[in-house]
Amino acid sequence: MIAADAVVFWQFRELVVLSRRLSNADHASAALVRVHLDVDTLRENVAVLESSHDTEQFSTAAAELQKVFLRDVEDAQLALSRAAEIAQADPTIPAALETLKVALPSQLDTAVQLSRAGGWTAVRLRLRQQIQDLIDLSSSLMARVDRQAQQQRAKAIQDAETVQKRLYVVVPVAGLLALLVAVALGWYVTQSITVPLAGLVWGADALARGDFEHQVNIGGTDELAVVGRAFNHAARQLSQQFEITLEARVAERTRIARELHDTLLQSFHGLLLRFQTVSHLLPGRPMEAKERLDSAIEQAAEAITEGRDAVQGLRDSTLQGNDLAQAVSTLGEELATESTDGRPEFRVAVEGQSRNLHPILRDEIYKIAAEALRNAFRHAQARQVEVEIRYDTEEFRLRVRDDGKGIDQAFLSGQRLEGHYGLHGMQERATLIGATLTVWSEVDAGTEVELRLPAGTAYGTASRTS
C-alpha cells in the first residue's frame, strides 16, 4: 500500500520536475528571442541614426540600446543557467552568448568613436558588416536554443508518457493491494468480534441448559472481553444463587420432616397409645377409661395447635411479603385474637430505615420471632407483648418482650429444652443464619428474646438478590 503510494508520489514528483525543466527551457528560448530582437532593433536604429549624422543623438541612442541589450543578455544568461540541460546538450551556447555580450558593446563603442571623428561612412560600413555578423550569431544562437528547447519538450513528453504508463500499472496494482489489505483487515476484525460473540452465545445456551460450570473463554482487553468477564461473573453468581436456593430447599424439606417428626407424629403416637389404654380399660374400669379419654382429647387439641403452627410456618415462608414488620404484626394480631384469657396488648416498633433482608434470612428471622411470639401469647399470660425491630448501620436487631410469668430457669439453662418453648429450635435457626440469640427471663417479671445479626450478614447478601 504505502509502497504503491510512494511510487505514485514519486511519479508525480517526476512530472513536476519535468514541467519545471520544460518551463526553464521555454524561458531560455524566449530570452534568446528577445536578445536576437534587440540586435535586430539595434541594426535598424543604427541605420536611421547614422543617416542623420548627429553624433550626440547617435551616442545617446547607442548607449540606450546597449543598456537594453545587456539587460536582455543577462536575463538570457540567467535563464540558460536555470535550463542547465540546454547548456549540457550544447556547451557552445553560453560561450556564444558571452561573445555576443562582449562583441556588441565593443562594436557600438567603436562606432560612437568613429562618429565623433566624423567618419560616418566608416561607421556605416563597419556597422553594416559587424552588426550583420552579430545578427547572424544571435540568430543561430536563438535557433540552437530553440532546437534544444524543442528537444527538451519532446523528451519531456516522452518522460510524461513513461510516467503515465507507469501510473497505469501502479495505480491498479495499488488499488488491488489496498483492496486485499482491506479484505484481510475486515476478516480479522470480523473474526475478532464473531468468535467471542459465538462464545457468548454458547455460554448463554449452556446457562439455559442449567450448566452453571460453563465459563466463556475470552482473552484480551477489548469491550468483548469485558462483556465476557461480566458474563462469567454473572454465571458464577447465578450458580451460587441457584445452589443457595436448591440447598435452602433441601434444608427446608429436612427441617419440615424433622418438625413433623418431632411434633405432630410424636403427639399422634402418644395419642394412639392413650386410646389403646382406654380401650384396655373400658370393659373393667369405665370411669378410669373416661378420665383417660378426656385427657387424650385435650392432648389431641394440642396436637392440632401444633399442626397449625407447623402449617403456619410453611405458609409464612412463601406467602408473606417483603416487609418483616408487617408479617410480624399480622401474626401477633392473629395470636392475640386466639388467646382466651385476657387479650394482651400487642405492639410492633420499627427503628431506623427499613432495609432489605435476604429472603432466606428474613424467613428464618420471622420464624424465630414467630416462636417467641407464640411463647409470649400462649404460655406467658402476659398483659403486654412488644416487638422491636431495629435496622442499625452496624447490625440488625429484633426483640420480642412480654411482661408475663417468665420461663423457668431449668429451660433457659438448657437442661430441658423440649416441651412447648421451642427454645432449642430458635437457637438452632439463629446459629444457622449467623445470628446470636439471647433470652432473658425472670419468673413473674417477663421474658425478652433478642436476636442480633451483624450488618454484613443481614444486609450484605440482600443486594445480591434484589
Partner 1 sequence: MGAGTAQIRILAVDDHPLVRQGIAGLVGVQPDMILVAEACDGREGIQQFRVHHPDVTLMDLQMPDMNGIDAIIAIRNEFPEARIIVLTTYAGDVQVLRALKAGAQAYLLKNALHKELLETIRVVHAGKRSLSPEVSYEIAEHAMDDTLTPAEIAVLRLIAAGNANKQIADHLSITEETVKSRVKSILSKLGANDRTHAAMIGLKRGIIDL
List residues near partner 1 by CB under 8 A.
240, 243-244, 246-254, 257-258, 261-262, 265-277, 280-281, 292, 299, 416-419, 424
Nearer to partner 1, 200 or 417 (CB): 417
Nearer to partner 1, 129 or 295 (CB): 295
Please state the closest distance from residue 201 (CB atom) to partner 1, in A.
27
CA separation for the pair 340, 269 (Å, rounded): 28
Please state the closest distance from residue 287 (CB atom) to partner 1, in A.
13
Phi, psi of 380 (to 5 degrees): -85, -20
Q: Identify any residues that bridge with 192 across adjacent strands, giving them in sequence order.
A: none
Nearer to partner 1, 205 or 243 (CB): 243
Please state the closest distance from residue 260 (CB atom) to partner 1, in A.
9
CB count in 10 Å sphere of residue 450? 17
Nearer to partner 1, 292 or 401 (CB): 292
Strands 436-442 and 446-454: antiparallel
Nearer to partner 1, 265 or 297 (CB): 265
- The sheet that has 395-402: what strands, in order across it? 345-351, 384-391, 395-402, 446-454, 436-442
Please state the closest distance from residue 288 (CB atom) to partner 1, in A.
8
Please state the closest distance from residue 369 (CB atom) to partner 1, in A.
21
Nearer to partner 1, 128 or 255 (CB): 255
Nearer to partner 1, 271 or 310 (CB): 271
Please state the closest distance from residue 457 (CB atom) to partner 1, in A.
16
Nearer to partner 1, 217 or 295 (CB): 295
Please state the closest distance from residue 425 (CB atom) to partner 1, in A.
12
Q: Are 115 and 55 in contact (CB under 8 A)?
A: yes
109, 172, 199, 224, 294 from 221: Cα distances, Å: 90, 38, 16, 8, 79
Please state the closest distance from residue 370 (CB atom) to partner 1, in A.
20
Nearer to partner 1, 8 or 271 (CB): 271
Nearest residue to 325 (alpha-carbon basis) of 282, 247, 387 = 387
Q: Are 292 and 357 in contact (CB under 8 A)?
A: no
Nearer to partner 1, 258 or 464 (CB): 258
Please state the closest distance from residue 363 (CB atom) to partner 1, in A.
13
Greatest CA separation found in the chain? 194
Please state the closest distance from residue 210 (CB atom) to partner 1, in A.
11
Nearest residue to 39 (alpha-carbon basis) of 135, 141, 145, 108 = 135
Nearer to partner 1, 76 or 437 (CB): 437
Please state the closest distance from residue 282 (CB atom) to partner 1, in A.
11
Nearer to partner 1, 71 or 261 (CB): 261
Angle separating helix axes 92-116 and 120-209, nearest 10 degrees: 150
Q: Identify any residues that bridge with 161 across adjacent strands, giving them in sequence order.
A: none
Please state the closest distance from residue 437 (CB atom) to partner 1, in A.
18
CB count in 10 Å sphere of residue 386? 20
